[in-house]
Amino acid sequence: MNLRCSGFRVCQTAFTLIELLVVIAIIGVLAGLLFPLGGAIKARALRSKAQAEMAEIVLAIEAYKEHYGQYPPDTPTNSPVWPYVHPLYFELLGTRYDAQLRIYETLDGSVRLRDTEAAFGAVFGMVGGRAAVRGFLNCTRTAQADEAPQARRFLSQLRPAQSREVTLNGQTIRLLTCSVSWPENHPFQPIPSAPGANPWRYVSSHPTNNPGGFDLWVDILLGGKTNRIANWGRKVQIVP
């Protein structure tokens, strides 16, 4: 740093070129150190968000099990179980059934489904030529209101980003999705007809990781790596 004085003895300071270059270099080094740190903080926050959403769904499923004595059904096909699409949204939010119109409708009125074996089979899969899911257990049947129990909503804190309307084989349904979306430009899409949708995978009939219980998981893509958030371990798995 140079010190310059005018004739009136007023001194001014000035940085040399070398000093300026050193300062710029230091700023560049600090920026290089902080940039990946910011990415790591963001990734940690997204993983925590997915884990918190999973905890809410797990509590809802356990409450359902306590009330009905069984876990919500999954959608087994002939082989293997189809974990991407399942009736979990309808079972946890509850439905009502109109026997005259033969239509199921969610309690919040967001989705209506035709009561035909072909329609249910087209969406939820087939087993032995029959629909794997035939109606819903957590349902109020309007024609038999005095006989059937009232449907209950087990998942009360669901936010808009945690569900997605999709169309499968001509039938419109709604799935539970993670609010950490799947990249729309990624070559693999869990639901090809709904780019970006990242549904929760669910298996209750033959879980491989929680025998006697259920498997629930979701994959989120962070930094080019697939992070698996699952109910069979606290540690996030990095999968191929």
Per-residue model confidence (pLDDT) at position 3: 47
Which of 69, 75, 105, 76 has the alpha carbon at shortest distance from 88? 75
What's the pTM?
0.81
Which of the residue ranges 1-5, 124-128, 164-168, 195-199 would you say has the lowest mean pLDDT? 1-5
How big is the CA angle at 89 (ends 84 and 90), to the nearest 5 degrees? Answer: 125
DSSP-derived 3-state class of residue 165: strand
pLDDT single digits (tens) 117-176: 888 888 888 877 788 888 899 999 865 545 667 899 999 878 889 999 998 888 889 999
Cα–Cα dist 199/40, whole Å: 24
Give 45's pLDDT tier (boundaries 50, 70, 90).
very high
Under 8 Å CB-to-CB from 29, ≥6 apart: which residues? none
